[in-house]
Chain A
Amino acid sequence: MVSENWKTLTRPLLDENPITLQILGICSALAVTTSLDTALVMTIAVTAVLALSGGAISLVRHHLPHAIRIIVQITIIASLVIIVDLVLKAFFFEIGQRLSVFVGLIVTNCIVLGRAEGFAMRNGVVTSMLDGIGNGLGYGLILMLVGGVREFFGRGSLFGKQFLIPVSQGGGFEPLHIMLLPPSAFFIIAGIIWYIRRKRPAQVEKPEFQIQVDEKS
Chain B
Amino acid sequence: MVDEVVSDRPSKVLQVALGIALVCALLVSFTAVTLRPYYIANLEAERMARLASILDALNESGQAKRFDDIEARVVNLETGAYAEKLDPATYDARRAANDPNASVAIPAELDLSGIKRRASHAVVYLLRKGDGTVDVIILPVRGVGYQSALYAYLALSADTREILALKFYEQGETPGLGSQIQNPRWESQWPGKQALDSEGKVSIRFDAISGATRTSIGVDRLLKFWLGDFGFGPYLNRVRAGEG
Interface residues of A (CB under 8 A from B): 60-69, 71-72, 75-76, 78-79, 82-83, 86-87, 89-91, 93, 100-101, 121-122
B6 is contacted by which of A62, A87, A89, A100 (Cβ under 8 Å)?
A: A62
- A67 CA / B2 CA spacing, docked (Å): 12
Provide the residues of chain A in CB contact with B4, threshold 8 Å.
Answer: 62
Q: Per DSSP, are chain B's interface residues mostly helix, strand or loop, or mixed?
A: helix
Interchain Cβ contacts under 8 Å between A and B, 8 examples: A64-B16, A65-B9, A67-B8, A72-B16, A75-B20, A79-B28, A87-B35, A122-B1
Contact (Cβ within 8 A) A90 B39: yes
Contact (Cβ within 8 A) B17 A90: no
User: How large, as a class, is the contact surface on chain B?
Assistant: 20 to 34
Contact (Cβ within 8 A) B12 A72: no
Contact (Cβ within 8 A) A66 B6: yes
Contact (Cβ within 8 A) A83 B31: yes
Of chain B, the residue at the smallest CB distance from A60 is B20
A64-B16, A101-B175 known; A86-B31 Cβ under 8 A: yes
Those 8 A-B pairs whose CB atoms lie nearest each other, nearest first: A90-B38, A79-B24, A93-B42, A90-B35, A100-B175, A65-B13, A83-B31, A65-B8
B60 at interface (Cβ–Cβ under 8 A)? no
Nearest chain A CB to B204 CB, angstrom units: 28
A66-B1, A67-B8, A101-B175 known; A82-B20 Cβ under 8 A: no
Contact (Cβ within 8 A) A66 B2: yes
Interface residues of B (CB under 8 A from A): 1-9, 12-13, 16-17, 20-21, 24-25, 27-28, 31-32, 35, 38-39, 42, 45-46, 175, 179
- A69 CA / B3 CA spacing, docked (Å): 13
Contact (Cβ within 8 A) B13 A83: no
Of chain A, the residue at the smallest CB distance from B40 is A90
Taking A66-B1, A72-B16 as known contacts, 11 extra A-B pairs with beta carbons closer than 8 A to each other, sorted by chain A number, are A65-B7, A65-B16, A67-B8, A69-B2, A75-B24, A76-B20, A79-B28, A82-B32, A87-B31, A90-B35, A93-B42
Provide the residues of chain B in CB contact with A121, threshold 8 Å.
Answer: 1-2
